[in-house]
Structure 1
Amino acid sequence: MKAHWWSCVLGLLCMPSGVTLSDLKVSQDPTSISLTRVNSSAEITCSTLRSDPLSLSLHMRFPDTKQIAFLALKNGLVSKTTAGAGFGGRISAAPSQRIGDGHGFTVQLSLLGLEDTNLYYCRWEFFKKETSTSETLSSNGTVIIVRERDPQEQCRDHILDRILIGLSVAALCVVLFLCVAALIVRRKRFRRRFRPARAASPTRPNRPQHSCPQHGVPHDPYLVTSVNSSYYRGIL
């Protein structure tokens, strides 16, 4: 695509001087670069101030000059139209508004593809009575650049992509914010409900059970006492 575009620009800069001088008798519109989309149409208007044209042809300049349409004229009207190779069924011509005694035709190119990006120019053929020969005059070309998509649609797509990216980032930020807020609230509730556990006291070992001695009079066969103080018997 870029190679075609630069070729067309260089072609405009390197147009032969004879083509520029012939603009006084022939002209072509539009002269500016035309931007279209694939499978769209473009119209080129070829005009002349002379009243005796024999034919009109439309040419592509790059990479080699190629005739893509030929209109045979008779009394200023199209008598036959011939399309070049690859342009069959894609070219139509119709008379345009006349200027004085001159003639003009609008050539429409349909179903344009990326390979159709080129410099197109009109060439008129006239009959010279003085020399009984034909004379050809060419007009400045029209550069047609065919793109896959309309530049405005591409800009809209870029804007839409940026909006979607912005919304995605905003949604992600909101989700992260909600998650952090939920963690903070949960932490506060946990701290409010938290009660530290007391340290467990060590278990005391079981103390041994001590039986208390019975307080009584031990049995001694050799010693007998009596509560009666007057009675005492002992064995010596």
Structure 2
Amino acid sequence: MKAHWWSCVLGLLCMPAEVILSTWTVSQEPMSISQVRVNSSTKITCSTSLSETMGVYLHRGFHGKKDVVFLALDKGQVTQDTIAKNFEGRIHIAKEQQITEGHGFTWELSLLGLEDTDWYYCSWVYFNSVKGNQETRSSTGTIIIVRERDPQEQCRIHTENLIFMSVTAFTAILILFIGAVIVRSKRFKKKFRPAREVRPSRPNRPQHVCPHQTVQHCPYLITSANPLDFRGIL
């Protein structure tokens, strides 16, 4: 059992330095997209567990690789060299005190403008003692998007505009509906003719005919009792 344990220890000691070097890592935070507004600031933290680190670059890479700033590390001394002239006075660097093995720095980019929208990543420069040359290892990077308004404010304004457009559309439809009803009612009034009142017909009154007494003249009939009356004959 002890012989097996010692064989494992010797195997680790005899492992090539390149394999051990491959376990060294670099990291960057935040890893997602960072959205900020104009004239605001944002922070990027880069760290590494590499030994014999000589320095670290901050690059921007959307439109080709461009160096922003370089930190030279020499026996614990940190020297800042701002390469991009448009970032002079706008980059503040603080050393991460929580990192015990390796190095870590926080870059604060201030007074951001729309032209600062880009992909920012760190490249650590270290000396490979096995190969005897200088090498670099880069982190994944952070995409910084600078907008004129804050993303939450932009979303709120978009929501307010959507509500305003909905209310406006509803009001316009309601006005059109009321106007159509008014026009239709006016046309109906022009075409409308009130019906005349139908009065019940009066019943026919019976005609009273007064009979006229007619005198029948009978020339040969004597209607008078007086024998001397000749009116009947005449």
- TM-score, with length taken from structure 2: 0.58
Alignment match, 1:4: none
What whole-Å deviation, never above 9, does each CA across 1:153-172 have from its counterpart, x for those lacking one?
A: 12211332344455667777
The AA in structure 2 aligned to 1:72 is: A
Please give the alpha-carbon distance, in whole angstroms, between the structure 1 residues aligned to 2:58 and 2:64. 14
Question: 1:23 and 1:87 mapped to 2: Cα distance?
Answer: 34
Q: Residues 175 and 100 of structure 1: is their aligned pair in 2 closer, same or farther, counting only changes over 3 Å?
A: same
State yes or no: 1:65 paired with 2:98.
Answer: no
Q: CA deviation at 1:43?
A: 1.1
Unaligned runs of 5+ in 2: 1-20, 180-184, 186-234
Whether the aligned pair in 1 keeps the contact of 2:39 and 2:113 (CA below 8 Å) is yes
Deviation at 1:122, TM superposition (A): 0.4
Q: Which residue of 1 aligns with 2:27?
A: 27
Structure 2 equivalent of residue 82 of structure 1: 82
* Deviation >6 Å, runs of 4+: 169-179
2:10 corresponding residue in structure 1: none
In structure 2, give the amino acid aligned to 1:71: L
- The residue type equivalent to 2:39 in the other structure is N
CA distance in 1 between counterparts of 2:86 and 2:95 reads 24
One-letter code aligned to 2:138: S
CA distance in 2, matches of 1:147, 1:133: 42
Question: Secondary structure, in 3 states, of the residue corresponding to 2:85?
Answer: coil
What's the offset of the Cα at 1:125? 1.1
Counterpart contact for 2:35–2:145, Cα < 8 Å = yes
Counterparts of 1:178 and 1:148 in 2: how far apart (Å)? 42
Secondary structure (helix, strand or coil) at the match of 1:50 reads coil
In the alignment, the residues of structure 2 paired with residue 113 and residue 22 of structure 1 have an alpha-carbon distance, to the nearest angstrom, of 38
Structure 1 residues 23 and 147 mapped into 2: Cα distance closer, same or farther (>3 Å)? farther
State the partner residue of 1:118: 118
- TM superposition shift of 1:49: 0.6
Distance 1:98 1:133, change over 3 A: farther
What does residue range 1-236 of structure 1 map to in structure 2 within 5 Å? 24-165=24-165
Q: Following TM superposition, by how much is the alpha carbon of 1:86 offset from its aligned partner in structure 2, in angstroms?
A: 1.4
Q: Is the 8 A contact 2:51 2:126 kept in 1?
A: no
Aligned amino acid, residue 45 of structure 1: T
Query: Deviation at 1:25?
Result: 1.8
Whole-Å separation in 2 of the counterparts to 1:43 and 1:85 = 19
- CA distance in structure 1 between the aligned counterparts of 2:165 and 2:25, rounded to whole angstroms: 56
1:57-109: CA deviation from partner (whole Å, max 9, x where unpaired): 10111211110011111234423343422111111110114434111000111
Count of aligned pairs = 175
> Is the contact between residue 36 and residue 147 of structure 1 (CA under 8 Å) also seen in structure 2?
yes
Distance 1:147 1:121 in 2: 20
Question: SS where residue 86 of structure 1 aligns?
Answer: helix
| Separation of aligned partners in 2, 1:144 and 1:22 | 29
- State the one-letter code of the partner of 1:151: P
What is the CA distance between 1:129 and its match in structure 2? 3.3
Displacement of 1:131: 4.5
Sequence identity (%): 50
Q: Return 5+ residue gaps in structure 1 as ranges.
A: 1-20, 185-236
For the structure 1 residues 80 and 35, does the alpha-carbon distance in structure 2 shift closer, same or farther, using more than 3 Å as the test? closer
1:59–1:172 Cα change, 3 Å: closer
